A and B are shown apart, each in its own frame.
Chain A
Amino acid sequence: MKSCKKATYLMSKQLDAQLGFSEKLSLKIHLMMCGNCHRCNKQLQTVHHLCAQRSTDLPNSSDKA
């Protein structure tokens, strides 16, 4: 897979569903070769986890004080 756009589609899809074997493999190889997509993948995962954590936000550490 050469296309970064397509790689970003798979990065997003893997947050919602199990990727097929060839999807997983082509994404993995693309991420090993492409720094931009590697960063993007980490960031999409970060946002995904932040959203999940939002509902377990702890009070005292909030900077709203």
Chain B
Amino acid sequence: MASINDYAQQLTELRPKLITFTMLQIPDRNYAEDLVQDAIIAAIESIEKYEGKAAFDTWVYSILKFKLIDHIRQKKREQDHFASDEQETDIDGFFDKKAHWNPDDAPQQWHNPAELHLRTHFWEVFDFCLLHLPTSTARVFALRELMEMDTDEICECLAISEQNCWTILHRARLKLRSCLERGWFLKEGEST
């Protein structure tokens, strides 16, 4: 079992990542830092419940995730106006005039994706890709896929239409797919 020092060290190293993740949903840095602080304290207070079933950082993320979801649900009526970043997330570049895939952007074969979630480095590439999406797009994607909210609730919290939500997720997924393919799958293919 890891010592207190190990956990303290890991929490210190994890903190900047937790703040970046939180700032996707709460742009105010001070507020985001406070929430991360709360999550870290909660992790320390319940460290005895950590059974080592999940990776330590995943466990801390899940504590933060619940705090964030609570925050978003409480604040839904006070949300800032949701600024859609339509132009920045334009995905037309992936397709030709007839809306077929451009040869350079067409999906390539991915090798062995099944075990990927166990690979820490994959998630580093994934987080890089996520954080390079335009802010509002990344925000909706994270709510849906990482915080597992359904689109009904996302629409209610952000005061956007369901149609708008699907459009944003469509763009997010295609951009992320392309980024993952370039950043992970093609490189993996080269190295094997």
State the A residues within 8 Å of B (CB).
2-6, 8-9, 12-13, 15-17, 36-37, 39-40, 42-44, 46-48, 50-59, 61-64
Contact = CB atoms under 8 A, between A and B. Distances in A.
B170 A40 contact: no
A17 B167 CA distance: 13
B98 A53 contact: no
A63 B98 contact: no
Contacts of A16: 144, 150-151, 165-166, 169
B118 A13 contact: no
B151 A58 contact: no
Contacts of B148: 52
Contact of A17 (B56, B151, B174, B181): B151
A57 B58 contact: yes
B145 interface: yes
Contact of A63 (B119, B126, B162, B176): B119
B54 A47 contact: no
B41 interface: no
A9 B172 CA distance: 11
A46 B54 CA distance: 21
B62 interface: yes
A62 B169 contact: no
Nearest to B95: A5
B189 interface: no
A61 B118 contact: yes
A36 B106 contact: yes
- Among the interface residues A39, A43, A48, A61, which one has the most CB atoms of the partner chain B within 10 A? A43
